[in-house]
Copies of this chain bind each other. A is one copy, B any other.
């Protein structure tokens, strides 16, 4: 498969999925959504893939969603009627079910929630907005010294998304989660490791990804013969992550997007965005 917004590479049992719009700080447009979902779907069915690593090209991991001036959005809104999409549209409140800026992100994060192999974040630099919140669905997270995590949802006039109202507290503890949600606090790499969000901090250098992959391969070497690794780790993850947990996450994700839509429809989102003339800092 040919991708335009991501690069996909396999090193033995490790599939690397690299967000690749460095001039846009790897912000995700609708095409990147579609391509990441397609790559995860292929990885899920590939017996040679034991784990998937999500990373980014350049200095940023991902600085959020970027649906502005995105010609794909209109296309996408029309074109999708596969079984999963139809189900998601039916599950959403009426007014959201036709809105691609709602059902496409819901479908995107559902892909993360349902992904059945270990998903590893190799955070090469700042993770902002949904770049941060999507990491909440990664199992293991590594980052560089230069990484920070920042989710100023209120500043963007939206609401916490991707289950962050549930998972930030689970992964950061209540104090840091609340400071993120209510006070837009930035979290640096050391703070993230102190609370267990990040398992290891590596230097911010060109070989960051190579070093992360080496750590992962050292781990996989202890997972039995290569042909058994994918099925073994999938079965371990099934025990960790039962169906009812996934259902609760999806329901929370829907509730969050309902608030996002409420704010958009009521005009609050526009009011907030007008209030801030400046851009997000880089």
Chain A positions within 8 Å of B, measured between CB atoms, are: 51, 118, 139-141, 152-155, 157, 159-160, 165-166, 169-179, 181-185, 193-199, 215-216, 218-220, 222-225, 228-229, 232-233, 235-237, 239-240, 252, 255-256, 259, 268, 271-272, 275
Partner of A199, one of B179, B225, B239: B179
CB of A219 to closest CB in B, whole Å: 3
Q: Are B240 and A165 in contact (CB under 8 A)?
A: yes
A273 (CB) vs chain B CBs: closest residue: B224
| Given A154-B233, A182-B51, A228-B271, also A196-B219 (CB < 8 A) | no
CA distance A219 to B271 in the complex (A): 18
CB distance from A191 to the nearest CB of B (A): 9
CB <8 Å contact, B239 and A259: yes
A153 to B165, CA, bound (A): 32
16 A-B pairs whose Cβ atoms sit less than 8 Å apart in the complex: A152-B222, A154-B224, A154-B232, A165-B236, A173-B196, A177-B240, A179-B219, A182-B219, A182-B236, A183-B215, A183-B218, A184-B222, A184-B223, A185-B219, A195-B196, A239-B259
> What residues of B have a CB within 8 angstroms of the CB of A157 in the complex?
224
The answer to whether A154 and B236 touch across the interface, beta carbons within 8 angstroms, is yes
**Of B183, B268, B275, which contacts A140 at CB under 8 A?**
B183
Distance in Å: Cβ of A268 to nearest Cβ of chain B: 6
Which of chain B's residues have a CB closer than 8 A to the CB of A139? 174-175, 178, 182
Question: How many monomers of this protein are in the complex?
Answer: 3
Which residues from B are CB-within-8-Å of A169? 240
By a CB distance below 8 angstroms, the chain B residues around A51 are 182
Q: What is the CA–CA distance of A224 and B228 in the complex, to the nearest angstrom? A: 52
Q: Is the CB of A175 within 8 A of B154?
A: no
Asked whether A259 lies within 8 Å of B275 as measured between CB atoms, the reply is no
Most chain B CB atoms below 10 A, which of A166, A169, A255: A169
Q: A140-B178, A173-B171, A228-B272 are contacts. A239–B165 as well, Cβ < 8 Å? A: yes
By a CB distance below 8 angstroms, the chain B residues around A198 are 175
- Asked if A155 and B223 sit within 8 Å, CB to CB, the answer is yes
In the bound complex, do residue A197 and residue B223 qualify as a contact, i.e. CB atoms below 8 Å apart?
A: no
CA distance A268 to B268 in the complex (A): 57
Q: Are A183 and B239 neighbours in the complex by a CB distance under 8 Å?
A: no
Assess whether A194 is in contact with B193, with CB atoms less than 8 Å apart. yes
| Minimum C-beta distance from A107 to chain B (A) | 20
- Given contacts A154-B222, A193-B194, whether A170 and B174 have CB atoms under 8 Å apart is yes
